[in-house]
Structure 1
Amino acid sequence: MPVFNPLVEKLVPPPIPAVLAWAKDYRDQHGPLIDLSQAVPGYPPHPDMMGLLGKYASSTAYTGYGPIEGETVLRQVYADHVSDVYGATVGLDNVHITAGCNQAFVCAAMAVAGSGDAELMTNPFYFNQETTLAMLGIRSRFAPCDPKNGFLPKISVLEAAITPDVRALAIVSPNNPTGAVYPPALISDIFDLCQARGIWLILDETYRDFLPAGAGRPHDLLTKPRWEETLIGLYSFSKSFCIPGHRLGAITAGAETVTQVAKIMDNLQICAPRAAQAAVAEALPRLAEWREENRREIGRRAEALKATMAGIPAWEVGAVGAYFAFIRHPFEARTSSEVAEALVREAGVLCLPGIYFGEGQERYLRFAFANADAATIGLLSDRLSRLSLL
């Protein structure tokens, strides 16, 4: 009898559908379900974005194969955008467009490591990155993040975790799952560590468009000498433009890295969705103010969550930022899965268990609060207080 690839077969099924299944048992006894499970925008795309998608999807110019590295117009527009965001000089040759940021991570991981090598991640980690490495036969090493330090990694801990087989360190800021925002100085120190140890830094900035207003530049890495030899930056257009179904992400890296990624993309997908690329290339400068207002709106939702949780002292905010909050539940004797399942069935709040994001996270739940407006977030006070598992 044929057998499956053991590297795939040993993985657990995708977690989001499993959690969504719990919601079927909620009977609206406390009002509509509050869905804090998946990182999707809680507001619709701009009408101009929808118009552009329709315009280019109906054009025969985008029905054929496109450039593997991405549409030239989007690569250039995005390179100019990145240059502006970071006060750096980034060119078209430094950009590769992918079908979403998950695919960007797959490409980055494959470009720098192979079966038997290792990549280092922080714990908690984004589960899709860990399972990607597992499927590729790349070992995962973990550097724990102390809750007392706001789930920010310490340089000494990262340095100690870099074993001889580690080819790259992958970090996410603003973080998924915790929401923790890495200060620019910390990101700079992490880069310097990777450069000194001769390993790659894979920096996932999917949620950088939702940093607090006035936060300044996320980091200065793109102005550092020979950054191309160490840094691979990842990004997603999905959240900022509210189009996760169109699967569009980007890699910012050295030209040689882009060449290696193109080899991988040619086998994975050939090219990212073309109509969406053309639409985003036009929307990126046009919808700047709309995107800025969305940043402010997500900030208001974050403040609403912090204010709401402050009124429920048994539940603690471990970290919060951009799209996520990592919440410490009060039920010491229960697993995070038990608490999350009871929370949706008894109180109508859907979220993800902390254990999905690494060992030692049983006391935590991930709230993807960007899905809900401030008024809905305010309902959490009553909903969470209803849960009794003692």
Structure 2
Amino acid sequence: MGTPETTTGTSTSEHPRVSQRIAGIAESATLAVDAKAKALKAAGRPVIGFGAGEPDFPTPEAIVVAAQAACANPRNHRYTPAGGLPELREAVAAKTKRDSGYEVTAAQVLITNGGKQAVYQAFATIVDPGDEVLLPAPYWTTYPEAITLAGGVPVQVTADESTDYLVTVEQLEAARTPKTKVLLLCSPSNPTGSVYSREQITAIGEWALEHGLWVITDEIYEHLVYDGAESVSLPVAVPAMADRTIVLNGVAKTYAMTGWRVGWMIGPADVVKAAANLQSHLTSNVANVSQRAALEAVSGPLDAAHEMRVAFDRRRRTIVDMLSAIPGVECPTPRGAFYVYPSVKALIGKKLRGVEITDTVQLAALILEHVEVAVVPGEAFGTPGYLRLSYALGDDDLKTGVTRMAELLAEVD
């Protein structure tokens, strides 16, 4: 008897086993690098990973205690409304006013399974097939995939180190067409750590308002800013944009809660209601215990976040100094988040241990192979010729990892 499928992976009726929509999704490069680093570590290799954007601090104790208490309460053993605990939605609205000055109601808040689900649902809710989305690059790897899954068309608008990786209104206007519906904005930025000034945010918001565009703004790194930089929420800078703006955020970075999976989207009530309908079929509610932990986080003080920021600031200055000392590496000083995005374009075309460096994918592979340091190539963020390193790891590992890189790259000729 024959098998029900051919060796090409299609069924006997010639229908693909995996839909074209899903087969076209690229794996998250950052998670792939992190997974490889962790697998090598588990095998006993002394790998140092700069791949994942994950604070190395434990979740603050008060949040953990709140979660422990929630586990023992039977009411948390049941469903909540799909859009989230009413008290958490209220608390997120209050936290938003406290931290960014943006006043919203609980009806404008949807609690999601991490910030990544908020990204997906924001695009799925307002983008129709063929709509164009302006996507400043370097960009976080998930953005173009979420746009494409929604049927949208990502339109890359690229900035480089000469402008601190920040796009201008002139660049956005040059990329705008009659099909443009949305602008994606991320400040402080993943992957570059760049931060738009209040004046830049205002100019971009006024431009979007003039042309009737939506803005989806990712503000998850809002509390991680340095050197006097400020995280400015676009609907605060341009209040008239509030009815056409979706704000994305979550507890992962501020409270070292990446594994708890609680994010949110804030927007016009009709859009949030539509996104909640989608979520009711997609995942239903976020885990109750995680929601209770998030309630404690957003309702409590920011002391732990400020302590983490001090450590990140120290590491930021260390990694910039160390990378900048490597010949062929140009590393701008980021003013937010916990990433550096050095240019290594000067190394492309040269040789390392007898191998020609053809691109930054290969360079990252050589660094992992020869000195067991995991970094993410710029191709993952839409801009070849760069590497992204997260400095959300211990000081000793940071210094050891960059020292290994420096010793290896000193051999480039």
Q: What TM-score does the superposition give when structure 1 sets the normalisation length?
A: 0.92
Q: Which residue of 2 aligns with 1:348?
A: 372
Q: Is the 8 A contact 2:186 2:217 kept in 1?
A: yes
Query: Which amino acid in the other structure matches residue 217 of structure 2?
Result: L
Query: Which amino acid in the other structure matches residue 343 of structure 2?
Result: R
Give the 3 Å change call, closer, same or farther, for CA 5–46 of structure 1 in structure 2.
Answer: same
Rounded Cα–Cα distance in structure 1 between residues aligned with 2:333 and 2:133: 25
1:40 partnered with 2:54: yes
Give 3-state SS (helix, strand or coil) of 1:203's partner: strand
Q: Which residue of 2 aligns with 1:73?
A: 87
Give the 3 Å change call, closer, same or farther, for CA 385–279 of structure 1 in structure 2.
Answer: closer
1:368 partnered with 2:390: yes
CA deviations over 1:233-274 (Å, ceiling 9, x no partner):
100211222221221101121222212211221121122222
Match runs of 1:306-345 below 5 Å: 306-318=320-332, 320=334, 321-329=336-344, 330-333=346-349, 334=357, 335-345=359-369
1:290 partnered with 2:304: yes
Q: Which residue of 2 aligns with 1:377?
A: 398
Identity of aligned residues (%): 24
Larger relative contact order (CA 8 Å, sep ≥ 6): 1
Q: Which residue of 2 aligns with 1:357?
A: 381
Query: Which amino acid in the other structure matches residue 395 of structure 2?
Result: A
Q: CA deviation at 1:170?
A: 0.6
Rounded Cα–Cα distance in structure 1 between residues aligned with 2:227 and 2:67: 28
Give the 3 Å change call, closer, same or farther, for CA 223–116 of structure 1 in structure 2.
Answer: closer
Give 3-state SS (helix, strand or coil) of 1:209's partner: coil
Give the 3 Å change call, closer, same or farther, for CA 76–7 of structure 1 in structure 2.
Answer: same
Rounded Cα–Cα distance in structure 2 between residues aligned with 1:64 and 1:138: 36
Q: CA deviation at 1:311?
A: 2.7
1:161 partnered with 2:202: no
Rounded Cα–Cα distance in structure 2 between residues aligned with 1:42 and 1:276: 19
When the two structures are aligned, how many residues end up with a matched partner? Answer: 386
CA deviations over 1:205-224 (Å, ceiling 9, x no partner):
11112112754452462364
Which of 61, 71, 77 aligns to 1:57? It is: 71
Query: Which amino acid in the other structure matches residue 242 of structure 2?
Result: E
Rounded Cα–Cα distance in structure 2 between residues aligned with 1:269 and 1:314: 47
Q: CA deviation at 1:152?
A: 0.4
Q: Is the 8 A contact 2:34 2:49 kept in 1?
A: no
Query: Which amino acid in the other structure matches residue 230 of structure 1?
Result: R
Indicate the structure (1 or 2) with the bigger Cα radius of gyration: 2
Give the 3 Å change call, closer, same or farther, for CA 339–22 of structure 1 in structure 2.
Answer: farther
Query: Which amino acid in the other structure matches residue 66 of structure 1?
Result: T
Q: Is the 8 A contact 1:174 1:181 kept in 2?
A: yes
Give 3-state SS (helix, strand or coil) of 1:164's partner: coil
Which of 240, 246, 249 aligns to 1:235? It is: 249
Q: CA deviation at 1:19?
A: 2.6
Of 224-233 and 37-46, more deviation after overlay is shown by 224-233
Q: Is the 8 A contact 2:157 2:175 kept in 1?
A: yes
Q: Which residue of 2 aligns with 1:97?
A: 111
Rounded Cα–Cα distance in structure 2 between residues aligned with 1:21 and 1:106: 22
Q: What TM-score does the superposition give when structure 2 sets the normalisation length?
A: 0.87
What do you get for the CA RMSD once the two structures are aligned? 2.3
Q: CA deviation at 1:381?
A: 4.5
Which of 109, 115, 131 aligns to 2:123? It is: 109
- For structure 2, list consecutive stretches of 5 or more residues without a partner in the other structure: 1-10, 350-356
Rounded Cα–Cα distance in structure 2 between residues aligned with 1:27 and 1:80: 42
Give 3-state SS (helix, strand or coil) of 1:188's partner: helix
- For structure 1, list consecutive stretches of 5 or more residues without a partner in the other structure: none
CA deviations over 1:146-181 (Å, ceiling 9, x no partner):
321010001100111121112111111111111111
Give 3-state SS (helix, strand or coil) of 2:103's partner: coil
Rounded Cα–Cα distance in structure 1 between residues aligned with 2:268 and 2:94: 15
1:258 partnered with 2:282: no
Q: Is the 8 A contact 2:128 2:151 kept in 1?
A: yes
Q: Is the 8 A contact 2:323 2:406 kept in 1?
A: no
CA deviations over 1:289-337 (Å, ceiling 9, x no partner):
1122112221121112122223324321145231111012242122111
CA deviations over 1:126-159 (Å, ceiling 9, x no partner):
1111112222321111111132101000110011
Rounded Cα–Cα distance in structure 1 between residues aligned with 2:244 and 2:75: 37
Rounded Cα–Cα distance in structure 2 between residues aligned with 1:137 and 1:188: 29
Q: Which residue of 2 aligns with 1:386?
A: 407
